[in-house]
Amino acid sequence: MAKNTTKNMAMAALFAAMAVLLSGFSIPVGPTRCFPFQHAVNAIAGVMLGPWWAAGAALTASLIRNTLGTGTIFAFPGSIPGALVVGFMARLFRNRNHYAALAEPLGTGFIGAVISVYILAPAVGKETTLWLIMSAFLLSSIPGSVIGFALLIALNKTRWLQKNVGRSPV
């Protein structure tokens, strides 16, 4: 059990580091910044690690990005719900769980947008509309989830996942 926890913690840290390193590629949209690679990382982490470790990696990446000034406060609801949804969907689709990567926009684009507009924005004194935040989050999460899906397929074809993680998403 401790070996598996250590392995998951190390992989979650690597996913958080990848998300931070790739955060230089962003698209500003309204009060948010779109980070498609954050969503790709969420998609892969959710499938490989499950919901809680993936959400931890997304939380860590959001904290670091905000500390470095490369992210906004909207990074938290813009990444954590997507990682959770992918992780839960991967559990649901046990045999073909790579398809769970495509569920990332559900968590980010809908759940994260609602949290951003109705809870976070008023709390920090910003005004925004649901359609603007939802559009920004979907603009970022749809390509990101497709990238994550493609990378999971590629990793499986090379058998890297089976050798290093012990399971295959495909």
Instruction: Tell me the pLDDT tens digit for each residue of 22-66.
Output: 987 777 776 666 788 999 999 999 999 999 999 999 999 999 999
- Cα Rg of the chain (Å, integer): 15
What's the fold here for domain 2-18+33-164?
Answer: Arp2/3 complex 21 kDa subunit ARPC3 (1.10.1760)
| First CA to last CA distance, the chain | 25
Alpha-carbon gap, residue 31 to 25, rounded angstroms: 17
> Where do the structural domains in the chain lie, given as residue ranges?
2-18+33-164
User: pLDDT of the chain along its 170 residues, tens only?
Assistant: 567 899 999 999 999 999 999 987 777 776 666 788 999 999 999 999 999 999 999 999 999 999 998 878 888 998 999 999 999 999 998 777 889 999 999 999 999 999 989 988 888 777 788 888 898 889 889 999 999 999 999 988 877 666 665 555 54
Contact in structure between 62 and 80 (CB atoms under 8 Å): yes
The 10 Å CB-count burial string (b at 16+, else e) for 25-41 is ebeeeebbbbbbbbbbb
